Amino acid sequence: MAVKVVGTSHISKKSIERIDEAFESFDPDLVCLELDMGRLNSLLTDNKVDPDSLVHMLLGKFQRYLGGKTGVMPGEEMLYAYRRANNTGKHVYLIDRDIRETLQRLKLVRRKEKVKALAMLPFSLFSSKIDIADIPDDDMLEQVKNQFSNSFPKLYHVLLEERDIYMFNAIQKVKIENPEEDILVVVGAAHKEGIEERLDEISSQGTVEEKPKQTKLEG
């Protein structure tokens, strides 16, 4: 049994190519996706869920704008991976935390930090160092994550660290339930390192604060 983690960019055409390559070279038995049931249903029906906060709404609009520029809408690569797995009869697990829970956690972050992050987002993404149509390499991701964590520590914790832990534990549960199966994990590139590090340190993991609620979909 092996686990392969593929990092994608939600607005990059190259994500589709990376997913295809992983399916063909790794040939997984199971597929884990950075989705919850609500977001999958939204992608399948093309219905946008009403946002619970102004910040979430504005971020969503900005992501969709960038998606229009690169040709791939946010979430499209996850929908593509879901359909490819489903069409080949592979079981799919949705491993991300319910978006409503994440939004509740975001409400605890100071408004000043959220507004500041929203104001800076366009400038950071349109920096000459970042090609929004490409998947960032490891060095660029590390640089961006460091800047994000230093400037917006609470947002970083809720949006990245907490979800890294949640998805890692969901993957662990899938592994326990399917000890002989090869597992492909498709997540946003920013989550790849955090999940892989935890997978490499399974023996040293302590008690987790949040129980994973991954959803299994029949292939």
Please give the pLDDT value at position 209: 47
Please give the pLDDT value at position 208: 43
Please give the pLDDT value at position 146: 85
Report the DSSP pairing between strands 183-188 and 30-33: parallel
Total structural domains within the chain: 1
What's the CA gap between 205 and 16, in Å, rounded? 33
Please give the pLDDT value at position 1: 80
Q: pLDDT by residue for the chain (219 residues), tens digit each?
A: 899 999 988 777 888 999 999 999 999 999 999 999 988 998 898 766 555 565 566 566 656 655 555 555 668 899 999 999 999 999 999 999 998 898 888 888 898 988 887 777 666 654 545 566 677 777 777 887 888 888 889 988 998 999 999 999 999 999 999 999 999 999 988 899 999 999 988 745 544 444 555 555 554
- Residue 67 sits in which domain range? 3-217
